[in-house]
Amino acid sequence: MKKEQLVIIILVLFALFSCKQVEEFPPEVTLTKERLLDKIKGGWAGQALGVTYGSSTEFKFNGTFIQDYQPIEWYEGYVKDVMTERPGIYDDIYMDLTFVEVFERVGMDAPVDSFAHAFAHADYELWHANQVARYNIVKRVKDPGHWLNNPHADDIDYQIEADYAGLMTPGMPNTASEISDKIGHIMNSGDGWYGGVYVGAMYSLAFISDDIGFVVSEALKTIPQQSKFYKCIADVIKWHKQYPNDWHQTWFKIQKKHSEDIGCPDGVFEAFNIDATINAAYVVLGLLYGEGNYTKTIDISTRAGYDSDCNPATAGGILGTILGYSNIPEYWMKGLKDAEDINFKYTDISLNKVYEMSLKHALYMIEKNGGKVEEENIFIKTQKPVAVHLEQNFEGMYPSKKVEFYSTDKNPVEFEFEGTGFVLRGDAQRRHEKAPYGELTAKLYIDGVEVETAEFPMSYKYRRHDLFWKYQLPFGKHKVKVEYAPNDDYRLRTWDYVIYSDKPAITKHSE
């Protein structure tokens, strides 16, 4: 047989195999109600186990992975201890529970305003895209997650909060995407939103397949191929095939190609990356190289670094859904001992409560989408993943410089820059302990023209995360002035500002 003939035969067989794989996407899946609940419980418990495991490492390893010799603690009753001593660690979960509670209280067709109000006025502290969105909601800014209104729009926020969407839509990834379209745009857009869409789809598909490669690859079909997020995850899948026994090699490839953060002003020019895309890559890294082993999965997603409690939480929850609660190894489940009846901080919901709530929501969604619920068996009408609409943040924008700009009580605040945009970081402060927790009003002028008036609450809960920002200016030299009326109670403090240009910055040194 000639070499050319052999190549043709191989290509034909590959095409036939690929077609067979598409045809094998099941149009309907039957689960017992017991197994459905077991998978839902596995998703929530797996998430709690993963975030607890990585809780001591979060953002301590930035741009480097955690070496194998670095011990990461685990013991019987560990989750209960962390829930008691460090309850803020579980923002991955109590944020989810905010949305679960709205579905439970308002109904399965609750309007987006119900979710936005509950999120904005909850007692917990927020950061990054979530905090900017909270401020925007309270100040009635439209599109609170849009990148023009939210410099942190590409951050990980909704990605770590989207688990609920997949757990209530078993086998129905497009329905999960519809939920994420409504709720995820409260705080994110672009790649930050895609992170939540992708996570929701992976959870959804975890109910109908125990093939991790299938779950990871099929879920990616919900993301537009033109997006940076899609290209990053597609690379991880490709590199896993090239280096199937070396997750470190794939990690290096991720760093080399996908580690630049252009949006988050905290991460630009810093060894810090809370971008959804690269952290989603670490989730997929753990899932693929973990090969269905719970220990390997959450360990790799943790050791990849950056947001190393959120990433094993997501990976652990997805694998927990695939395995089911009853199949998560005892070594890990002993860490959950005595914690499942404890309400997560800021909520009235425990794991045992949310297991049942999510089951009720899932049964409703199954019937709503053409499935059937009987006393013993559940018939799910599955959905082949379809890509959501394309949206990409910060296009044509390139960070060119971060300038230290420390000042306390300078009024007006003034600086000049050359470029197409900026973000001024800082905060508002009370001058003395007796000052009330009111607001300071300041105005932004660019090139002598007033472009914005903003209020700065003294309350940390409702604070404005960054002082001012402006994008899409014509390239050139610009003058910025921030001014407020003399105030005996409040003042502004600045830290630095990030400058954007219309071309990538190139560092040149004389030879």
Q: Residue 23: pLDDT above 70?
A: no
Whole-model pTM: value is 0.95
Looking at 86-221, list the stretches that DSSP marks H as alpha helix, in order from N- to C-terminal side. Answer: 91-106, 112-121, 128-138, 163-167, 173-184, 190-205, 212-220
Same domain, 366 and 439: no
Residue 433 lies in a domain: yes
Q: What is the mean pLDDT of the chain?
A: 95
Same domain, 127 and 275: yes
pLDDT value of residue 507: 83
Query: What distance in Å separates the CA atoms of residue 473 and residue 422, rounded to the nearest whole number?
Result: 9
pLDDT value of residue 505: 86
pLDDT value of residue 509: 87
**Sign of the CA dihedral running 284, 285, 288, 291:** negative
* 204-238 pLDDT per residue, tens: 999 999 999 999 999 999 999 999 999 999 999 99
Q: How far is CA 75 from the centre of its chain?
A: 28
Q: Considering only residues 130 and 14, tell me which one the structure prediction assigns the higher pLDDT.
A: 130
**Sign of the CA dihedral running 148, 133, 265, 247:** negative
Same domain, 181 and 103: yes
Shortest CA distance to 168 belongs to which of 230, 119, 102, 89?
102
* 298-323 pLDDT per residue, tens: 999 999 999 999 999 999 999 999 99
What's the whole-number mean pLDDT along residues 420-447?
97
Q: Count structural domains, the chain.
A: 2
Q: Residue 114: pLDDT above 70?
A: yes
From the CB of residue 348, how many other CB atoms can be counted at a distance below 10 Å?
Answer: 9
Distances (CA, A) of 77 to 41, 83, 356, 484: 18, 10, 23, 52
What's the whole-number mean pLDDT along residues 414-430?
98
Q: Which of 381, 406, 432 is the last residue of a domain?
A: 381
* 319-343 pLDDT per residue, tens: 999 999 999 999 999 999 999 999 9
Same domain, 293 and 335: yes
Q: Residue 9: pLDDT above 70?
A: no
* 148-204 pLDDT per residue, tens: 999 999 999 999 999 999 999 999 999 999 999 999 999 999 999 999 999 999 999
pLDDT value of residue 16: 43
Residue 14 lies in a domain: no
Confidence of residue 5 (pLDDT cuts 50, 70, 90): low
Helix-then-strand count for the chain, H and E: 17, 11
Angle at which helices 247-258 and 228-242 pack, to 10 degrees? 150
Same domain, 70 and 218: yes
Same domain, 347 and 404: no
Q: Among residues of the chain, what percentage have pLDDT more than 70? A: 95
Residue 86 lies in a domain: yes
Q: 3-state DSSP call for residue 19?
A: helix
**Residues in the chain, overall count:** 511
Residues spanned by the domain of 220: 25-381
Same domain, 287 and 419: no
What's the whole-number mean pLDDT along residues 432-456?
98
E-strand ranges in 25-95 read 28-32
Kindly report the backbone phi and psi dihedral angles of residue 421, in degrees, each rounded to the nearest multiple of 5, phi listed first. 180, 170
What's the whole-number mean pLDDT along residues 36-61?
98
What's the whole-number mean pLDDT along residues 495-503?
97
Exposure string of 29-55, with b = 16+ CB inside 10 Å and e = fewer, is bebeeeebbbbbbbbbbbbbbbbbbbb
From the CB of residue 76, how many other CB atoms can be counted at a distance below 10 Å?
Answer: 14
Q: How far is CA 144 from the centre of its chain?
A: 16
For residue 457, give the CATH number of its domain: 2.60.120.230
pLDDT value of residue 390: 98
What's the whole-number mean pLDDT along residues 39-47?
98
pLDDT value of residue 3: 54
Residue 331 lies in a domain: yes
Same domain, 377 and 467: no
Q: Residue 499: pLDDT above 90?
A: yes
Q: Which of 346, 381, 416 is the last residue of a domain?
A: 381
pLDDT value of residue 510: 82
Same domain, 188 and 335: yes
Angle at which helices 91-106 and 33-54 pack, to 10 degrees? 140
